[in-house]
């Protein structure tokens, strides 16, 4: 029988079966909180400082005071991997508004709660990484920044979940979301890229996307490998007529898309640039990251 995992909650390590939060926590009652998904490879946590900076930025945007420092937060993540003896894995870092009452007022929550979970994750089967995957375009539109800015990685993920339900009904693993004006933004859990005539294009932040940490890393790796990258608005027309398409995300890494809304993308197989970027990504994560003690 495998050893039970430990979960960090507010300064304590509890077994998975013991780890609980109050039903009065506003993270549960209202989705009032922020989170990060973080990967570890080869006994090193990838881009940990960037993830911690982003969760603090998300918290600031919703006026949520995190009760520990960035340095302490980094230690929480590293120590949770170490406590669970996981040299490789996926961690979920969560900050909720904390214990309050049944009313909406966040001032009733005196102290935010910090949670860190370490476990395994597998977004897509290996066959999809080898051969590419189909996706659909959801009818669910991406939140506008004037309503709830997608740059905030909040616990309120209903916008994404509604689109994912459409993907499930269509029998595919991911759904693309557009703005109300039909501009491509991102998928429910991944950023999107297309390739045309050897140039990689991805939507800019202002169209309504999460500024993905894996997205930024893949852009850097592409440029270092002589591949031109352009942040530019585009529509489904450009996507349908692309030579390649791929998605990036902490859990997904880099995965090719070979069909969108039943339109075959390019040659209908994982493209050369997509495969190159997945290979250099794997090279990078083997050697870089914050050491797990």
Residue range 126-287, CATH number: 3.20.10.10
pLDDT digits (tens, 9 = 90+) for 112-161: 999 999 999 888 999 999 999 999 999 999 999 989 999 999 999 999 99
Q: What is the pTM of this model?
A: 0.95
pLDDT of residue 3: 83
Per-residue pLDDT of 56-75, as tens digits, reads 999 999 999 999 999 999 99
Please give the CATH architecture assigned to the domain spanning 6-119.
Answer: 2-Layer Sandwich (3.30)
SS (H, E, C) 7-44: EEECCEEEECCCCCCCCCEHHHHHCCEEEEEEEEECCE
Kindly state the helix (H) or strand (E) to which residue 249 belongs, with its residue range: strand 244-249
Long-range contacts of 15-24 (CB under 8 A, 24+ apart): 19/115, 19/117, 21/96, 21/113, 21/115, 22/99, 24/99, 24/100, 24/101, 24/102
Q: What is the pLDDT of residues 218-257, one digit of tens each?
A: 999 999 999 999 999 999 999 999 999 999 999 999 999 9
> Does the fold of domain 126-287 match that of domain 6-119?
no
Q: Is 101 exposed, middle or buried (0-12, 13-18, 19+ CB in 10 A)?
A: exposed
Catalytic-labelled residue, pool 16, 83, 110, 153: 153
What token pair was written down for 73? 């937060």
The whole-number average pLDDT for the span 156-171 is 97
Distance in angstroms (rounded) separating the CA atoms of residues 279 and 276: 5
Provide the sign of the torsion angle of the four alpha carbons 174, 41, 198, 191, taken in this order: positive
Closest to 134 in 3D by CA, of 176, 193, 178:
176
pLDDT over 60 (residue 1): no
CA distance 70 to 77: 11
Average pLDDT taken over every residue of the chain: 97
Separation CA 288–CA 277 (nearest Å):
16
So what's the pLDDT on residue 164?
98
Nearest Cα to Cα of residue 134 among 170, 165, 164: 170
pLDDT at 293 over 90: no
Contact between 144 and 183 under an 8 Å Cβ cutoff? The reply is no
| Segments making up each domain of the chain, as ranges | 6-119, 126-287
Is 153 one of the catalytic residues? yes
Q: Give yes or no for residue 2 having a pLDDT over 70.
A: no
Output the pLDDT for position 161: 97
CA pair distance 125, 111, nearest whole angstrom = 40
Which residues, other chains included, contact 144 with Cβ-Cβ below 8 Å and sequence gap of 6+?
Answer: 179, 180, 208
């Amino acid at each position: 029988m495998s050893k039970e995992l430990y979960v960090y909650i507010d300064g304590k390590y509890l077994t998975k079966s013991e780890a609980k939060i109050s039903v009065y926590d506003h993270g549960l009652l209202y989705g009032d909180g922020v989170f990060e998904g973080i990967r570890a490879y080869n006994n090193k946590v990838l881009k940990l400082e960037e993830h911690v900076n982003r969760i603090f930025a998300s918290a600031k945007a919703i006026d949520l005071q995190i009760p520990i420092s960035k340095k302490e937060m980094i230690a929480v993540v590293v120590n949770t991997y170490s406590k669970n003896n996981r040299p490789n894995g996926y961690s979920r870092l969560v900050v909720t508004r904390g214990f309050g009452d049944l009313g909406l007022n966040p001032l009733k929550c005196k102290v935010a709660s910090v949670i860190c979970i370490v476990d395994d994750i597998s977004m897509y089967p290996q066959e999809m990484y080898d051969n590419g995957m189909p996706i659909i375009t959801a009818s669910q539109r991406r939140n506008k920044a004037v309503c709830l800015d997608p740059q905030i990685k909040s616990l309120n993920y209903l916008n994404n979940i509604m689109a994912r339900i459409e993907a499930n009904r269509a029998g595919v693993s991911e759904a693309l979301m557009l703005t109300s004006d039909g501009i491509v933004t991102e998928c429910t859990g991944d950023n999107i890229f297309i390739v045309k005539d050897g140039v990689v294009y991805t939507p800019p932040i202002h169209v309504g996307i999460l500024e993905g940490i894996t997205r930024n890393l893949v852009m850097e790796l592409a440029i270092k490998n002589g591949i031109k990258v352009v942040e530019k608005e585009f529509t489904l027309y450009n996507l349908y007529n692309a030579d390649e398409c791929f998605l990036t995300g902490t859990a997904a890494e880099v995965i090719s898309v070979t069909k969108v809304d039943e339109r075959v993308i390019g040659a209908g197989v994982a493209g050369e640039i997509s495969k190159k970027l997945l290979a250099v990504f794997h090279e990078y994560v083997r050697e870089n990251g914050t050491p797990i003690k």
